[in-house]
Structure 1
Amino acid sequence: MSTHKDVKKITTNTLLKMKAAGEKISMITAYDYSFARLFDKAGIDVVLVGDSASNVMAGNETTLSITLEQMIYHAQCVVRGIDRSLVVVDLPFGSYQSNPDIAVASAIRIMKETNGHSVKLEGGAEVIDSIRRIVSAGIPVMGHLGLTPQSIYKFGTYTVRAKEEMEAEKLRKDALLLQEAGCYAIVLEKIPAALAREVSTSLAIPTIGIGAGNACDGQVLVMHDMLGINNEFKPRFLRQYLNLEQQVTGAVQQYIRDVKSHDFPNEGESY
């Protein structure tokens, strides 16, 4: 059993070394202490405190509703459960788009108030000045290209991005721009596998795919999807490893039956 002192922590540099060595990077979302602790103990490389908390924790239709304060709260909870994994925190919608000064201030708040290790933000050329400024402030940045959920009302759909050559070419250029601006990794979401392979090969920094084929340097899934807590969302890219919705429902129904039938608590469960 490892102690706090001898745990080898994953850093942004570790991810670069993993890409160079051809070792795939595992990443999952978490939003609270309990699950973060489980994922960290299981050996996950990266834990993303995603703005998907807006959907899966708060029940909102999109990621746009979540605030910087709410992201900070979720990240604080997650960081307390982590010994080894790299913790990445999403900058929420509205906390970086308007100008680089606001972007840097938002990133600094996240780092100071959560003890997280890095921030993530969506977009390419449009946000490059903000990325440069955040990196200059000494804060590691993970980029995010392809399907960018914060731009849902601009795209109007969650369909696969960059199928047309014009958008694919912009994504290629944006990926190189992000690398040049100092990003240490880039999430590629819901783009053709061939394009993701091409971009991953062209970069020195790792790519993390979600619905982008297996040529990316790592993969990320939302915990609620992967564990089957939410069975309504079943895109092609999702592999569901558990059906917690079914198991939890069954367990609670059994508990209800035991209470109603006077079976719980029994003599051995009483004082």
Structure 2
Amino acid sequence: MRKSIFDLLERKGKQPISMLTAYDYHTACTMDEAGIDMILVGDSLGNVMLGYENTLAVTVEDMIHHGAAVVRGAKQAMVVIDMPFMSYQASVEDAVRNAGRIMKETNCQAVKLEGGAEYADRIRAIVNAGIPVVAHIGLTPQSVNALGGFKVQGKSLEQAQKLLADAKAVEEAGAFAITLECVPAELAKLVTERSGALTIGIGGGNGCDGQVLVYQDMLGYTNGFTPKFVKKYADLHSVMLEAFKQYKHDVETREFPSKEQTFAINEEVIEKLY
């Protein structure tokens, strides 16, 4: 059976929760087979799937398209789908309507939105509409321009106090989990200890209740920039690159397809065609 909010909340302080991003059916199937607890259909798909410079151009339709495929593939993991930029910022009404669309058209189990106390009213309204919410504080990529780039958040006393206040506000608004991105480990641990919600770290240290990574990063899918908080569990870029090069060589030298990949026909049939 698919993992529920209550299944995961029971593990707080006991067994850490595994979470990875996915954006397609096959990847979701494989993660489910591996026993990953939660799958995030992140708006990071703008970067890793659509080739955008950042996440700002991602639409609700993009999230629904990829999210529905992931839900079809994951039978046991809880699937959470990001609410993209400007799908909830303008008004509470927009937030509830777009969250409802995402859940109704994908059959996901929760939505995730960025922002702290300033978006608590959106979180509360979405939860009141019967839609579970994962909050996201610390480094919030949708606000990258306002933050002045991708920087660790909460290092100063003022920033740390704001992060603690944000965590309290989103929990009180009804978020059952809080993503902590690029936050000093001791601060993330303090948030975890003070919160009844699950904390999911991405660059937040191992004191959180769980961890999430973009799967292309942890698999070494590209040879580009890798964030400090990523551990590479494979080097798929090199494997894929070598395979593509070998394929190109085999095609150009006619080594592929060989007899093993070719269908035969009776020679008498061919002779009658001349």
Normalising by structure 2, we get a TM-score of 0.94
The equivalent of 1:42 in structure 2 is 34
Listed as ranges, the matches of 1:80-229 within 5 Å are 80-229=72-221
Give the distance between the partners of 1:235 and 1:103, measured in 2 at CA.
30
Number of residue equivalences: 263
State the identity as a percent. Answer: 50
Q: Distance in 1 between matches of 2:172 and 2:26?
A: 37
CA distance in 2, matches of 1:150, 1:268: 51
2:256 is matched with 264
In the alignment, the residues of structure 1 paired with residue 144 and residue 234 of structure 2 have an alpha-carbon distance, to the nearest angstrom, of: 29
Which runs of no fewer than 5 residues in structure 2 stay unpaired? Answer: 264-274
Shift of 1:177: 1.1
Amino acid corresponding to residue 77 of structure 1 in structure 2: A
1:92-117 Cα shifts (integer Å, max 9, x gaps) = 00000111011000000001101111
Q: Tell me how far 1:241 sits from its aligned partner.
A: 0.7
In the alignment, residue 209 of structure 2 is paired with which amino acid? D
Root-mean-square deviation (CA, aligned residues, Å) is 0.8
Task: Report whether the alignment pairs 1:68 with 2:68.
Answer: no
Shift of 1:15: 1.2
SS in 2 for 1:121: strand
Cα distance in 1, alignment partners of residues 183 and 223 from structure 2: 23
What is the match of residue 46 of structure 2? Answer: 54
Deviations along 1:130-168, one digit per CA (max 9) or x if unpaired, are 100000000000000100000001011101011111111
What is the aligned counterpart of 1:16 among 9, 33, 38?
9
Task: Determine if contact 1:122/1:143 at 8 Å carries over to the other structure.
Answer: yes
Provide the secondary structure at the position in 2 that maps to 1:134: helix
Native 8 Å contact 1:225 1:231 kept in 2: no
Deviations for 1:59-100, whole angstroms, at most 9, x for unmatched residues? 111110001111110101111101100000000000001110
Cα distance, 1:252 vs structure 2:
0.9
Moved over 4 A (4+): none
Q: Distance in 2 between matches of 1:231 and 1:25?
A: 28
CA–CA distance in structure 2, aligned partners of residues 172 and 268 of structure 1: 63
Please give the alpha-carbon distance, in whole angstroms, between the structure 1 residues aligned to 2:115 and 2:7. Answer: 24
Give 3-state SS (helix, strand or coil) of 1:131's partner. helix
Deviation at 1:231, TM superposition (A): 2.3
Which residue does 1:4 correspond to in 2? none
The alignment's TM-score, normalised by the length of structure 1, stands at: 0.95
C-alpha separation in 1, matches of 2:228 and 2:121: 35
Unaligned runs of 5+ in 1: 1-7
Distance, in Å, in 1 between the alignment partners of 2:32 and 2:225 is 25
Aligned to 2:232: 240
Q: Is the 8 A contact 1:225 1:233 kept in 2?
A: no
Deviation at 1:238, TM superposition (A): 0.6
Q: Which amino acid aligns with 1:220?
A: V
1:37, distance to aligned residue in structure 2 (A): 0.8
Amino acid at match of 1:260: E
